[in-house]
Every structure is written in C-alpha cells, then in structure tokens.
Structure 1
Amino acid sequence: MVNAASLHAVRGGGLIQSYRLVNSKFPPIALFDDVASADEFDILYAVQALTNPRLQNEVGSLNLIPRSEIPFGIKGCSYATAPFTHVNPDGSRFADGSFGMLYLADTMETAIAEVRHHQQAYWSKVHGLNYERFVFRGLVCQFDEAGVLDATSLPLTHPIYAPDDYTFARALGRDVKAAKAPGLRYHSVRAMGNTCWALTTPRQVASIIQSSHYEMVWSGRITSVNKLVAGA
C-alpha cells in the first residue's frame, strides 16, 4: 500500500495558481479576514463572543487547527481556513471526517467537474427534488507547492483513484497528515488529464480571491452549469 514515505516531495516550490468552487450559502468568515495575527484574532474573538451567540458556528471548531497554521493577513484567509474548522463529518477522498483538507484544481473547469460529481451524488438521494438551482462562488488561489507530495506518479488505476471507494485514499491522507506534509498533488478523477491538490494545512496559501459565480441547474439531475453575469 502506498504511504507518504513512498512519494516524492515537490522541491523548490513556487506559487501555483489554482481554483476552487464553494457553495455561496457559506459566506466568508469575517473574523479571520479582519486581523493580521493570532494575537489579534484571540482578542477580537473574545470580544465578539460576548455579544455574538452564533460566533462559534461561524468560525467553526478552532481546536482542529493550531493558530500557527492559519495564514492571518493574506487575502481570503477565511477561504483558506474554513475547510479546517468546518470539517465535513462524511469525509472526502483523502480525509476521513476527523480532519479537513483544502481541495484545489488546476483550472476552474476541473473544479466544476469535481464539484458537479459530488453535487450530483448528493442531490440524487433527495426524493421529490424536481427542479432547483445551486449557486457557487469561484475562487482563485495562489499557494506554495514546496513540500507537497506528488501522487501523480501513481497511475489512475491505483486504488487511491477508485471513483467511489475512498478506503485507500483516506489511508494515504491520514499518513500524509501524520507525516506533517503540506499536502498531495494528484490526478483529477472527474476531469481526466487534469490535476488537483489536497492541502493538509492552509499555511501554504498566499491568497484566495473571489472570481465569478456559477449555477448548477438540477432537473432530475444536474443538467447544466452556467457562469452568472453580474447584474443579470
């Protein structure tokens, strides 16, 4: 079975431009973006906690990530940090639900293909859903790839790329996290020939900014994905 020690780390690094798609019903967490350091965050959190009963729900589980891992002061700090404080209990390809991963893609089309697959799988289980529109926020991310482990050396036939069985992928993800590697570079399973990343920490991120909005139209299945024009 593949593990972190068997994968080569990206050397030299350099900023990579990547893309992400998040549901627009989840707004940015202002508190992460309003401060430039961990000390400022702790002070502001303590003050706001006195008057904002929803603060913990907004910020998430802060015990899941050390303050030193949060890239305070960058553009889009909340976008970088949210996957690690609002962990999906159902897990994902490389995470078992006990920790988060920041998933990124090499193009917006790749990000859309990945999200479309998972939205299709989720909403197909909801009975009686005949028509709906789901709006997503496109994000452009710059991150340093130095130290990321390269799983693109493995063929798409490897068990970590199984379309719907994440057993081997999650075992690898746990090992990568335990090894304190910053993440994985891997083949996109939903957009063949393209590349994705699963970061185990937001500290590699230099910026994440919002780009366009997209809608996915459900009519028994996801029938189309449309880029929304501002003011339309």
Structure 2
Amino acid sequence: MVAPSDLPACATNQVESYRLIHSKFPPIGLFDDVADADEFEALYTLQALTNPRLRNEVGDLGLLPVDEIPFGIRGCSYATAPFTHVNPNGSRFSDGSFGVLYVADSLSAAIAEVKYHQQAYWQKVPSLHFERFVFRGLKCVFDEGGCRDALTLARTHAIYHLDAYHASRELGGELRRSASVGLRYHSVRYEGAICWALMTPQYVRDVIQTTHLEMIWNGSIAQVNRLSAIPVQQK
C-alpha cells in the first residue's frame, strides 16, 4: 500500500477545475446566505426551530468541522455539500464514512467520469428502458497546495484499478486521518486527464455553474448533450 507520506506534496497553485452534479440536488441556501461561521450558527439555530426539513437540506454537519466551510465564496454550498451529504456506498477514495469533493481538469473529463458511474448504476435497473438525466456543469477554483501527488504513480498502480477500490480507499482513509488537503491523480475514465479528490472544502475559492448537460439513457448512455436557453420574445 502507498502512504500519503510516500507522495510529494503539490505546491501552492490556483487550479480551475470542473464537476457535474445531478440537477435534482439544489444549492443549499443556508451555506450561501452567510458570511462566516458565527452567522451560520445563529441562522441555523433559528431556522431549525421552524423548518423541520433543514437537517435534510444541510446534511450531517457532524461530518465536517464548521471552520472548514468556505463561507463567503460564490457557490459555498456546492463546495460543502459532498462533505455533509455522503454517499454511504463510498467512492474511489472513500469507504462511505466521509465525503470527498471530486473535480477534473476539463469538462470533458468530468463528463466521462460521471457517464461511467451513471451507466454502471442504471445497468442494474433492467426495467429502465429510456430516461433523461440532467446535470449542472460546475467550474471550481481551488488551491491545490498540500495535495499529495499521485501523478508520480504509474497508471498500473492498484489505486487506479478500473473497478476494485480496496487500495484507493486505503489511501483515501489515510489521507483523511492525516488531515491531508487531498490527492491529485490520473483520471481513470478519460485518458490523459487529471483529477483531484479534495478531502476538505477549505481551500475552494469559487464555484459557479457554467452549463446544463443531459445524458440520454437508452439501455446505455447513448448521448450527452449541452442544453441551452432559447430567448422567448415577449408579446
């Protein structure tokens, strides 16, 4: 097994990256409505008295120290949600007990990563013959300083296995326990691309939506289309 200390640390560098999220997940307004942790605590306490759905919207705050939430940035909720709404089935670098913010160096790479996992999931639903899934395309700016650099590992290393995540989850767990910023690594689904697995949203500087995309399911992901708005002339 490779340990985080075996990998060099990335130098401080502002990175522009991309991510897709399903459009059924709206931004969490509470994260975007406050400027700092004190305002958040006060507003959360107040809204919790009258909004029984608040816990479902915000997620499990016990999974993320409040001082790691990047209050005041654009798209704070997009940066924070992966850490408070954790997929219990896990991911490449998580066993499902903690969240990870995954981003890629291009929109094409982000599409390829999501397309693979969507296809793997929906192929297990034989009754689904046709469907349309809509995603938000996000641009995320963050500082990769302190991320461990797995680009130094050969693409044949066990953490890059197509479907077996044992080695990569061991590394992810060690990154989490050692409070590492994250990991820079080769994309497994898009040749030549780079991805990051961020273990904290703390160093995210900006997240904005740049596009809407749809994936058409017809026994497999048959198409990926960019959606655009058509201006309607007012009478």
- Please show how residues 76-115 of structure 1 align to structure 2 within 5 Å: 76-115=75-114
Partner of residue 7, structure 1: 7
Task: Write the deviation string for residues 142-181 of structure 1: whole angstroms up to 9, x where unpaired.
Answer: 0001001000100110000000000000000001111111
Partner of residue 43, structure 1: 42
Task: Write the deviation string for residues 194-231 of structure 1: whole angstroms up to 9, x where unpaired.
Answer: 10000000001000001100000000110010000113
Q: Distance in 1 between matches of 2:65 and 2:182?
A: 16
Q: Distance in 2 between matches of 1:18 and 1:33?
A: 20
- Please show how residues 1-232 of structure 1 align to structure 2 within 5 Å: 1-11=1-11, 13-231=12-230
TM-score of the pair, normalised by structure 2: 0.97
Partner amino acid, structure 2, of 1:32: F
Aligned pair count? Answer: 231
SS of corresponding position for 2:15? strand
1:7 Cα offset (Å): 0.4
1:190 Cα offset (Å): 0.2
1:14 Cα offset (Å): 2.0
Q: Distance in 2 between matches of 1:231 and 1:173?
A: 43
Alignment root-mean-square deviation, CA:
0.8
Task: Write the deviation string for residues 49-68 of structure 1: whole angstroms up to 9, x where unpaired.
Answer: 11111100000000000011
TM-score of the pair, normalised by structure 1: 0.98
Q: Distance in 2 between matches of 1:96 and 1:162?
A: 16
SS of corresponding position for 2:202? helix
Task: Write the deviation string for residues 79-105 of structure 1: whole angstroms up to 9, x where unpaired.
Answer: 000000000000000000000000000
Identity %: 61
SS of corresponding position for 1:202? coil
Q: Distance in 2 between matches of 1:182 and 1:204?
A: 8
SS of corresponding position for 1:208? strand
Please, which runs of 5 or more residues in structure 1 have no aligned partner? none
